[in-house]
Amino acid sequence: MREMADREVVWERLTRSTLFLDQAHVPLEVDRGQVEQFYHPLATSLFCRAGSTPRLMVAVAGPPAGGKTAFATILVAAINAQAGDNVAALVGLDGWHYPNAYLATHFVERNGEQFSLRSIKGASETFDAAAAYECLSQIRRGGQVSFPVYSRALHDPILAGGTVSSSHRIVVVEGNYLLLAEEPWARFCALFDVRLFITARLETLVDGLMARHVRGGKTRAAAEQQVREVDLANADRVAPSAVFAHVLVYKSDTRRIERVVPGLQAPCGMPGA
């Protein structure tokens, strides 16, 4: 791999083009102080590790609206700026959401009641975990692999909307449930060489969730119901996954990092470790 670039060069390369969030025309602000303090050191570490493996797999897990996508987008851009080449790719777990037509006609039982998957969209049951695992396993093995992406405009996945090419030596995968120690998710953890967990205060998560749902077309009342009945339960569900992380990233809001610290690094599948 190429020599690492210094911080000035990385910043200059990052500012050459605009980054966008969630496969949408939402420009992502990049703060130089944040890049130099947090993203550049992480990019440097991953860039160095990638030199000793055919393809480095990096998980970015955490609760909904913790800023995982923004973080992963900037991290991938920082790695590529560091390398001076397109060596890193971003894959989002949301691409493996079941389509809305499927969610509307399938149900799950909770506390003795039947709920349509559509009503709890975003919960782990609304993802095709088997298809996600198979695709990520293929990506890990190397070569060119197509993967689905989630459209915030269509509110549905787009099959083969993205591609990991043979030149991508680092693949960053972001999603809520990548480190979840529950079936059928427990086997995902072992796919990743480096595991990061994004976390934030409850009020930060709520603010981020509300903004996301309103931006996606929901009324404020519908957004509040989604947050109350679905999203916060999902956040509670993934919180224990933090013990598997090599690195913990605390966010002060959905865009800004507050601090980065070493994680507990419990072995995959052993939440009590």
Q: Is residue 147 part of a domain?
A: yes
Per-residue pLDDT of the chain (273 residues; tens, 9 = 90+): 556 778 899 999 998 988 987 666 778 889 999 999 999 999 999 999 998 789 999 999 999 989 999 999 999 999 999 999 999 999 999 999 999 999 999 999 888 889 899 999 999 999 999 999 999 999 999 999 999 999 988 889 999 999 999 999 999 999 999 999 999 999 999 999 999 999 999 999 998 889 888 887 889 998 898 899 889 999 999 999 999 999 999 999 888 999 999 999 999 976 543
Q: How many domains does the chain have?
A: 1
CA dist., res. 258 & res. 185, Å (int):
29
pTM: 0.93
**What's the confidence (pLDDT) of residue 188?**
98
Q: Is residue 270 part of a domain?
A: no
Contact of 64 with 229, CB cutoff 8 Å: no
CA dist., res. 248 & res. 151, Å (int):
28
**What's the confidence (pLDDT) of residue 52?**
79
Q: Residue 197: name the closest of 182, 220, 180, 209 by CA.
A: 180
**What's the confidence (pLDDT) of residue 118?**
94
Contact of 132 with 94, CB cutoff 8 Å: no
**What's the confidence (pLDDT) of residue 271?**
56
Q: Which domain holds residue 54?
A: 7-97+128-203+238-262
**What's the confidence (pLDDT) of residue 150?**
95
CA dist., res. 251 & res. 260, Å (int):
9
Q: Is residue 136 part of a domain?
A: yes
Q: CATH number, domain at 252?
A: 3.40.50.300
Q: Residue 240: name the closest of 258, 264, 259 by CA.
A: 264
| CA distances in angstroms from 181 to 46, 129, 134, 241, listed in the order given | 25, 13, 18, 7
Q: Is residue 243 part of a domain?
A: yes
Q: Is residue 151 part of a domain?
A: yes
Q: Is residue 140 part of a domain?
A: yes
**What's the confidence (pLDDT) of residue 214?**
87
Distance from chain centroid for Cα 34:
19
Q: Is residue 111 part of a domain?
A: no
Contact of 136 with 188, CB cutoff 8 Å: yes
Q: Is residue 104 part of a domain?
A: no
